[in-house]
Amino acid sequence: MRITGETAFVLHARAWRETSLLVEVLGREQGRLGLVARGVQGPKKHVLRAALQPLQCIRLDCDLRGELARLVSAEALDAAPQPAGDAMLAAFYLSELVLRLVPRHDPLPELFDAYAQARERLRLRDGLAWSLRRFERDLLEALGVGFALDVDGDGEPVDPAARYLLDPEHGPRRLHSDRGHGERSQAATGRALLALAKDATPSPDDLVSLRLPMRSVLAHHLGPRGLKSWEMIGDLGRLKHRGATTD
């Protein structure tokens, strides 16, 4: 099947054989696609090779035969963001989430739009942590495994003053005050959940409380194998802590 004029974001590209690339993209109409880009490593293919860099928005033509498609042509539609430091790690995380959780050939235009918005926020370095939490929420919704954030799993309104664990199958579960510190550290504040439900930026403390609960939901859907980006974030945190203790 020939696919023409598909707008897509490049998620990942790696060398294959001597002159080719295996490329993963997220398309607006076709969803996630795996592409074989043949003969792109030669000196005359610089423009095409540049268009296949991660985060690049492209227009492509390809021939789909089975699981992978043969790339016919691709052109860059804009200048891709050039994130550095934490923003680069955030970009890697966004793409890894899509690669691990989104099946190929499943059109999800709402996810395409969410990725486009997150990509633009990376370009502007506009609140990285908040951008990631919003994308996690939108990804779960697009995959059909999201849940309401303004009511708990029993249908009761979320209390801004309470804390909630996030059950992947049930939704928010209120954490009672007699629970230990360990469980409280895994729980989001009600204020944070309500802010995420309304897409309204929470306070810094409330925003921090969302990270581990959202990670637990994603881990449930990922299965036993976590994300490389989580390992990288952990390693980076340990290095920063070690530097702080030795300076």
Kindly tell me if the per-residue pLDDT of 94 is higher than 70. Answer: yes
pLDDT at 242 over 80: no
pLDDT value for 245: 36
Report the 10 Å Cβ neighbour count for 130: 18
Residue 225: pLDDT band (50, 70, 90) is: very high
**What's the CA gap between 143 and 114, in Å, rounded?**
12
Q: What is the pLDDT of residues 114-159, one digit of tens each?
A: 999 999 999 888 799 999 999 999 999 999 999 999 999 999 999 9
Q: State pLDDT tens for residues 147-178.
A: 999 999 999 999 999 999 999 999 999 998 75
pLDDT over 70, % of the chain: 91
Look at residue 235 and tell me whether its pLDDT is greater than 90: no
Q: Whole-number mean pLDDT of the chain?
A: 90
Name the CATH code of domain 2-76 (choices 2.40.50.140, 3.90.550.10, 2.70.70.10, 3.10.20.310). 2.40.50.140
Residue 240 has pLDDT above 60, yes or no: no
Would you kindly state where each structural domain of the chain is located, as residue ranges?
Answer: 2-76, 86-246
Q: For domain 86-246, which CATH number applies: 1.10.3720.10, 2.60.120.10, 1.20.1440.120, 3.40.50.300?
A: 1.20.1440.120
Place of tokens 């680069």: 88
**pLDDT at res. 244:** 42
Burial of 75 (0-12, 13-18, 19+ CB in 10 A): exposed
- Tell me the β-bridge partners of 73: 61
Answer yes or no: same fold for 2-76 and 86-246: no
Q: Is the pLDDT of residue 221 over 80?
A: yes
The per-residue pLDDT for 126 is 79
pLDDT exceeding 90 applies to what percent of the chain? 74
- Give the gyration radius of the chain's Cα atoms: 20
The pLDDT assigned to 42 comes to 67
Count CB-CB contacts under 10 A for residue 68: 16
| CA gap 110, 87 in Å, rounded | 23
What is the model's pTM? Answer: 0.90
Sign of CA dihedral 197, 126, 141, 185: negative
